[in-house]
Amino acid sequence: MKILTIICIVLFTATGIASIEAANKPRPLQLIIPPGWPKPLYNFKYNPLTKEGFELGRKLFYDERLSKDSSISCASCHQQFGAFATYDHNFSHGYNNTLTTRNAPSLQNLAWQKEFMWDGGINHLDLQPLAPLTASNEMGETLQNVIGKLNKDTAYKRLFKNAFGTAVINTKRMSMALSQFVLMLVSSNSKYDKVMRGELAFAAAEKQGYEIFKQKCSSCHKEPLFSDFSYRNNGLLLDTTLNDYGRMKITLDKRDSLKFKVPSLRNIALTFPYGHDGRFFSLQSIYEHYRNKMVVAANTDSLLLKKIPISNTETGLLTAFLRTLTDTSFLKNPQFAPPGYTITPAFIHYQ
């Protein structure tokens, strides 16, 4: 009798714990691959998306406490209303009145990229946040301190447990959560996308612009991601205050001198200024570069040896087309706003 009672108690407890565990299990989240897009390159088996992981990542992304003096979050320089680039800034503001030395890239469609930064120096999305967190001219903090701060916060302990099963907080889990948030930043609902899906039609100028784009731009800014993510020398002169040789710094190969990653043109109307050092403040200055000012030298990309002839009329048509790449539903998606907000609030605009 006694044994039976014990068995019953054990069974009840076991099933009770099991059901609590089931209730606490993170809920899977699906990354929807837009029709016609290639297969994502990120390994989701290694870091499966969950609602809890995404929410933890979003909280981390918007948390200024991750920086040395609690003044800068990831979102300070990656602003939703600017397609997660720094709006209207060539360089971004870092810890203690410092400036970065490169133009903050827009964060979108990251699951389709395998290397990060303008020079491709970072070889895994999960490793990416470690650079801005620790750079003295960005968030200026040490990883040990970041993990220490998170460990002192009971809310984070709970969120890590919800996302990963236990309350262990380490660099790997923090990075995986941040990846889960940024992986969901998919922009695939611009007017261009709607036209491609047959839901809308281009206006006449947009359509002509698209034809010119396909002739003169799309071999590097390849659809549907509007980049082939290769590194190319597009005839930029070296800025002698920055001495940024781009890809060469990573590969140590002289042939890679002044090569930078081809940026995506999605949401281009909001991601100005352009270029790795933000030297181009308008689309017009970009057209001027390719049709006139660029320097053709030994390392210049083979596609640009004759520069790109673009007439004045064509610049207007190209601009009309490029504006169709603005994805308002992405820029205003409340899921991507800070926790508890339905839109990126004014204080995030401040920096």
Partner 1 sequence: MKLLPVVIICWVVVFCSARLPGNNTTIRFKHLVGSKVLKLFDETYINSFGEPFVISKFRYYVSHISLTDNTGKQTDFPDNYYLVNEEDSLSKEIHLPIASTLREISFMIGVDSIKNISGVQTGSLDPANGMFWTWNSGYVFAKLEGQSDVSPAPAHSFSWDVGGFRQPANALRKIKLTVNKNGATEENTIIITADVLKWFNGKTPLSITKTPACHQPGTLAVQIADNYSTMFSVAP
Q: How far apart are CA 144 and CA 127, in angstroms?
A: 15
Which of 29, 33, 122, 343 touches partner 1 by CB under 8 A? Answer: 122
Q: Which of 18-26, 171-179, 228-236, 271-279 is the region at the interface with partner 1 (rule: CB under 8 A)?
A: 171-179
Which of 121, 194, 285, 295 touches partner 1 by CB under 8 A? Answer: 121
Q: Which is nearer to partner 1, 132 or 338 (CB)?
A: 132
Q: How far apart are CA 162 and CA 189, in angstroms?
A: 31
Q: Is the peptide bond before 309 cis (omega within 30 degrees of 0)?
A: no
Q: Which is nearer to partner 1, 68 or 191 (CB)?
A: 68
| N- to C-terminal Cα separation, the chain | 71
Residue 165 is which amino acid? G
Which of 33, 71, 95, 134 touches partner 1 by CB under 8 A? Answer: 134
- Helical packing angle, 154-164 and 143-151, nearest 10°: 100
Q: Check binding of 218 to partner 1 (CB under 8 A).
A: no
Which of 71, 98, 137, 170 touches partner 1 by CB under 8 A? Answer: 170
Structure tokens at 317: 């048509």
Q: Where are the alpha helices (DSSP H) in 217-333?
A: 248-251, 283-288, 312-322, 328-331
Q: Which is nearer to partner 1, 134 or 299 (CB)?
A: 134
Shortest distance in whole angstroms from residue 44 CB to partner 1: 12
Count Cα atoms within 13 angstroms, Cβ side, for 318. Answer: 22
Q: Check binding of 143 to partner 1 (CB under 8 A).
A: yes
Q: Which is nearer to partner 1, 148 or 345 (CB)?
A: 148
Evaluate whether 266 touches 221 at the Cβ level (below 8 Å): no
Q: Which is nearer to partner 1, 142 or 282 (CB)?
A: 142
Structure tokens at 225: 């991601």
Which x/- pattern over 63-102 shows residues binding partner 1 (rule: CB under 8 A)? ----------------------------------------
Q: Check binding of 254 to partner 1 (CB under 8 A).
A: no
Q: Check binding of 241 to partner 1 (CB under 8 A).
A: no
Q: Check binding of 40 to partner 1 (CB under 8 A).
A: no
Q: Which is nearer to partner 1, 136 or 215 (CB)?
A: 136
Q: Check binding of 117 to partner 1 (CB under 8 A).
A: yes
Shortest distance in whole angstroms from residue 258 CB to partner 1: 17
Q: Check binding of 252 to partner 1 (CB under 8 A).
A: yes
Percent helix, strand, coil in the chain, to 5, is 45, 5, 50
Q: Which of 329, 332, 310, 331 is nearest to 321 (CA)?
A: 310
Q: Which of 12-20, 136-144, 199-207, 213-221 is the region at the interface with partner 1 (rule: CB under 8 A)?
A: 136-144
Q: Which of 14-22, 55-63, 164-172, 268-276 is the region at the interface with partner 1 (rule: CB under 8 A)?
A: 164-172
Residues in contact with 209: Cβ distance below 8 Å, sequence separation at least 6, in sequence order: 317, 318, 319, 320, 321, 322
Residue corresponding to tokens 């400036």: 99
Q: HEC string of 123-152?
A: CCHHHCCHHHHHCCCCCCCCHHHHHHHHHC
Which of 15, 19, 123, 313 touches partner 1 by CB under 8 A? Answer: 123
Which residues are at the interface with partner 1 (CB under 8 A)? 46-47, 117, 121-127, 130-131, 133-135, 142-144, 146-147, 170-172, 175-176, 249-252
